[in-house]
Protein backbone atom coordinates (compact mmCIF):
# COMPACT_ATOMS: atom_id res chain seq x y z
CA UNK A 1 0.00 0.00 0.00
CA UNK A 2 1.23 3.43 -0.93
CA UNK A 3 1.73 5.92 1.90
CA UNK A 4 0.73 8.83 -0.34
CA UNK A 5 -2.75 7.40 -0.62
CA UNK A 6 -3.67 7.48 3.08
CA UNK A 7 -5.61 10.74 2.62
CA UNK A 8 -7.58 9.13 -0.19
CA UNK A 9 -8.36 6.16 2.04
CA UNK A 10 -10.04 8.45 4.56
CA UNK A 11 -11.85 10.40 1.86
CA UNK A 12 -13.32 7.54 -0.18
CA UNK A 13 -12.81 4.25 1.67
CA UNK A 14 -15.28 2.29 -0.44
CA UNK A 15 -13.66 3.24 -3.72
CA UNK A 16 -10.14 2.55 -2.51
CA UNK A 17 -11.13 -0.79 -0.96
CA UNK A 18 -12.83 -1.81 -4.19
CA UNK A 19 -9.66 -0.98 -6.07
CA UNK A 20 -7.27 -2.97 -3.95
CA UNK A 21 -9.47 -5.96 -3.17
CA UNK A 22 -10.57 -7.36 -6.51
CA UNK A 23 -11.79 -10.85 -5.81
CA UNK A 24 -12.03 -12.45 -9.20
CA UNK A 25 -14.27 -15.16 -10.47
CA UNK A 26 -12.90 -16.68 -13.63
CA UNK A 27 -15.25 -17.86 -16.31
CA UNK A 28 -13.00 -19.86 -18.57
CA UNK A 29 -15.33 -20.65 -21.41
CA UNK A 30 -13.08 -22.24 -23.98
CA UNK A 31 -9.49 -21.06 -24.27
CA UNK A 32 -7.76 -18.74 -21.83
CA UNK A 33 -7.77 -21.00 -18.79
CA UNK A 34 -4.07 -21.69 -19.26
CA UNK A 35 -3.23 -17.98 -18.98
CA UNK A 36 -4.79 -17.71 -15.53
CA UNK A 37 -2.65 -20.08 -13.37
CA UNK A 38 0.65 -18.25 -14.05
CA UNK A 39 -1.04 -15.02 -13.01
CA UNK A 40 -2.26 -16.27 -9.64
CA UNK A 41 0.78 -18.43 -8.79
CA UNK A 42 4.46 -17.77 -8.28
CA UNK A 43 5.31 -16.54 -11.78
CA UNK A 44 3.32 -13.27 -11.71
CA UNK A 45 1.55 -13.43 -8.32
CA UNK A 46 -1.57 -11.29 -8.71
CA UNK A 47 -2.16 -11.43 -4.95
CA UNK A 48 0.37 -8.58 -4.60
CA UNK A 49 -2.36 -6.29 -5.92
CA UNK A 50 -5.16 -7.90 -3.94
CA UNK A 51 -6.44 -9.92 -6.90
CA UNK A 52 -7.27 -13.45 -5.77
CA UNK A 53 -9.58 -16.04 -7.29
CA UNK A 54 -12.66 -16.95 -5.28
CA UNK A 55 -14.93 -19.91 -5.78
CA UNK A 56 -18.34 -18.30 -5.85
CA UNK A 57 -19.92 -15.23 -7.52
CA UNK A 58 -21.34 -14.10 -4.17
CA UNK A 59 -17.86 -13.28 -2.87
CA UNK A 60 -16.47 -11.89 -6.09
CA UNK A 61 -16.47 -8.38 -7.50
CA UNK A 62 -14.41 -8.93 -10.65
CA UNK A 63 -15.80 -11.13 -13.41
CA UNK A 64 -13.18 -12.31 -15.88
CA UNK A 65 -14.51 -13.94 -19.05
CA UNK A 66 -11.81 -15.59 -21.12
CA UNK A 67 -12.15 -16.97 -24.61
CA UNK A 68 -15.06 -17.40 -26.97
CA UNK A 69 -18.63 -17.41 -25.65
CA UNK A 70 -20.94 -20.02 -27.07
CA UNK A 71 -24.69 -19.52 -26.87
CA UNK A 72 -25.00 -22.20 -24.23
CA UNK A 73 -22.28 -20.59 -22.07
CA UNK A 74 -23.90 -17.18 -22.37
CA UNK A 75 -26.75 -18.41 -20.20
CA UNK A 76 -24.34 -19.38 -17.42
CA UNK A 77 -22.44 -16.10 -17.81
CA UNK A 78 -25.60 -14.03 -17.41
CA UNK A 79 -26.71 -16.00 -14.38
CA UNK A 80 -23.27 -15.70 -12.77
CA UNK A 81 -23.16 -11.97 -13.46
CA UNK A 82 -26.59 -11.43 -11.94
CA UNK A 83 -25.61 -13.37 -8.81
CA UNK A 84 -22.70 -11.06 -8.05
CA UNK A 85 -23.23 -8.23 -5.57
CA UNK A 86 -22.71 -4.60 -6.50
CA UNK A 87 -20.32 -2.95 -7.13
CA UNK A 88 -19.08 -5.47 -9.69
CA UNK A 89 -16.69 -5.15 -12.61
CA UNK A 90 -16.36 -7.20 -15.76
CA UNK A 91 -13.30 -7.78 -17.92
CA UNK A 92 -13.43 -9.71 -21.18
CA UNK A 93 -10.16 -11.43 -22.01
CA UNK A 94 -9.28 -12.20 -25.65
CA UNK A 95 -10.65 -11.00 -28.95
CA UNK A 96 -13.53 -13.46 -29.23
CA UNK A 97 -15.80 -11.67 -26.71
CA UNK A 98 -15.01 -8.36 -28.47
CA UNK A 99 -16.10 -9.14 -32.01
CA UNK A 100 -16.15 -12.89 -32.44
CA UNK A 101 -12.44 -13.19 -33.24
CA UNK A 102 -11.66 -16.27 -35.25
CA UNK A 103 -15.21 -17.46 -34.71
CA UNK A 104 -16.60 -14.43 -36.54
CA UNK A 105 -18.80 -16.58 -38.81
CA UNK A 106 -19.66 -19.34 -36.37
CA UNK A 107 -23.32 -20.15 -35.98
CA UNK A 108 -22.97 -21.04 -32.34
CA UNK A 109 -20.92 -18.27 -30.68
CA UNK A 110 -21.79 -14.82 -29.43
CA UNK A 111 -20.01 -12.10 -31.42
CA UNK A 112 -20.40 -9.06 -29.16
CA UNK A 113 -20.56 -9.91 -25.47
CA UNK A 114 -21.23 -6.25 -24.68
CA UNK A 115 -24.75 -6.60 -26.00
CA UNK A 116 -25.69 -9.11 -23.31
CA UNK A 117 -23.89 -7.98 -20.18
CA UNK A 118 -22.01 -4.69 -19.62
CA UNK A 119 -18.22 -4.98 -19.94
CA UNK A 120 -15.90 -2.55 -18.14
CA UNK A 121 -12.62 -3.53 -19.77
CA UNK A 122 -11.41 -5.39 -22.81
CA UNK A 123 -8.13 -7.19 -23.39
CA UNK A 124 -7.50 -7.71 -27.08
CA UNK A 125 -5.37 -10.52 -28.44
CA UNK A 126 -5.62 -14.18 -29.33
CA UNK A 127 -4.54 -15.14 -26.75
CA UNK A 128 -3.19 -12.19 -24.76
CA UNK A 129 -0.12 -12.79 -22.61
CA UNK A 130 -0.80 -13.37 -18.88
CA UNK A 131 0.71 -9.94 -18.12
CA UNK A 132 -2.24 -8.43 -19.96
CA UNK A 133 -4.40 -9.22 -16.92
CA UNK A 134 -2.25 -6.76 -14.93
CA UNK A 135 -2.69 -4.16 -17.64
CA UNK A 136 -6.43 -4.71 -17.35
CA UNK A 137 -6.33 -4.46 -13.55
CA UNK A 138 -4.33 -1.23 -13.52
CA UNK A 139 -6.62 0.18 -16.18
CA UNK A 140 -9.61 -0.85 -14.10
CA UNK A 141 -8.08 1.05 -11.16
CA UNK A 142 -8.02 4.27 -13.21
CA UNK A 143 -11.57 3.63 -14.33
CA UNK A 144 -12.73 3.07 -10.73
CA UNK A 145 -10.90 6.24 -9.67
CA UNK A 146 -12.67 8.30 -12.31
CA UNK A 147 -16.01 6.59 -11.61
CA UNK A 148 -16.12 5.21 -15.13
CA UNK A 149 -16.26 1.52 -14.23
CA UNK A 150 -20.03 1.75 -13.95
CA UNK A 151 -21.11 -1.33 -15.87
CA UNK A 152 -23.44 -2.46 -13.11
CA UNK A 153 -25.18 0.93 -13.18
CA UNK A 154 -25.56 0.72 -16.94
CA UNK A 155 -27.00 -2.77 -16.54
CA UNK A 156 -29.60 -1.42 -14.13
CA UNK A 157 -30.40 1.60 -16.32
CA UNK A 158 -30.70 -0.21 -19.65
CA UNK A 159 -31.84 -3.55 -18.25
CA UNK A 160 -34.77 -3.70 -20.67
CA UNK A 161 -32.49 -3.57 -23.69
CA UNK A 162 -30.06 -6.08 -22.22
CA UNK A 163 -32.88 -8.44 -21.35
CA UNK A 164 -34.30 -8.12 -24.85
CA UNK A 165 -30.94 -8.96 -26.42
CA UNK A 166 -30.58 -11.94 -24.08
CA UNK A 167 -34.00 -13.21 -25.09
CA UNK A 168 -33.18 -12.73 -28.76
CA UNK A 169 -30.11 -14.93 -28.38
CA UNK A 170 -31.42 -17.52 -25.95
CA UNK A 171 -35.14 -17.59 -26.55
CA UNK A 172 -37.37 -17.53 -23.49
CA UNK A 173 -35.35 -17.08 -20.29
CA UNK A 174 -36.38 -19.33 -17.43
CA UNK A 175 -35.40 -16.90 -14.66
CA UNK A 176 -37.28 -13.73 -13.63
CA UNK A 177 -35.90 -10.29 -14.49
CA UNK A 178 -33.28 -8.91 -12.10
CA UNK A 179 -34.77 -5.41 -12.18
CA UNK A 180 -38.34 -4.35 -12.98
CA UNK A 181 -38.74 -3.91 -16.72
CA UNK A 182 -42.32 -2.69 -17.02
CA UNK A 183 -45.18 -4.42 -18.77
CA UNK A 184 -44.20 -3.70 -22.37
CA UNK A 185 -41.58 -6.34 -22.99
CA UNK A 186 -43.74 -9.32 -22.11
CA UNK A 187 -45.60 -9.73 -25.39
CA UNK A 188 -42.59 -9.38 -27.67
CA UNK A 189 -43.50 -5.85 -28.70
CA UNK A 190 -39.96 -4.95 -29.64
CA UNK A 191 -39.21 -5.03 -33.32
Stretch that binds another protein, among 68-76, 85-93, 157-165, 181-189 (CB under 8 A): 85-93
CB of 18 to another protein, least distance (A): 6
Task: Based on the shown chain and the rule CB under 8 A, indicate whether residue 87 belongs to the binding site for another protein.
Answer: yes
| Contacts to another protein from residues 23-42, by CB under 8 A | 23, 41-42
CB of 46 to another protein, least distance (A): 9
Task: Based on the shown chain and the rule CB under 8 A, indicate whether residue 85 belongs to the binding site for another protein.
Answer: yes
Q: How many CB atoms lie within 10 A of CB 74?
A: 19
Q: What angle do CA 177, 109, 106 make, to 5 degrees?
A: 150
- Rounded Cα distance between 148 and 15, Å, is 12
Stretch that binds another protein, among 26-34, 65-73, 79-87, 96-104 (CB under 8 A): 79-87
For the chain, counts of helices (H) and of strands (E): 8, 5
- Rounded Cα distance between 71 and 43, Å, is 34
Per CB under 8 A, the list member of 5, 6, 34, 47 interacting with another protein is: 47
When the beta carbons of 122 and 155 are compared against another protein, the nearer one is 155
Task: Based on the shown chain and the rule CB under 8 A, indicate whether residue 165 belongs to the binding site for another protein.
Answer: no
- Helices marked H in the chain — which ranges? 6-11, 13-20, 36-40, 71-83, 96-99, 131-146, 151-157, 159-170
- Rounded Cα distance between 73 and 10, Å, is 41
Site residues, another protein (CB under 8 A): 1, 13-14, 16-18, 20-21, 23, 41-42, 45, 47-48, 50, 52, 54-56, 58-59, 61, 84-87
Amino acid sequence: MDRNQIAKWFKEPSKMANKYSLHAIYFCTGCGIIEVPPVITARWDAERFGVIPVATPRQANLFLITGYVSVKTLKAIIRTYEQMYEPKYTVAFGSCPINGGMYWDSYNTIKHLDKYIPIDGWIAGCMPRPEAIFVAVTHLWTLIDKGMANGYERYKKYYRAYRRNQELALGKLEWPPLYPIGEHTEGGECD
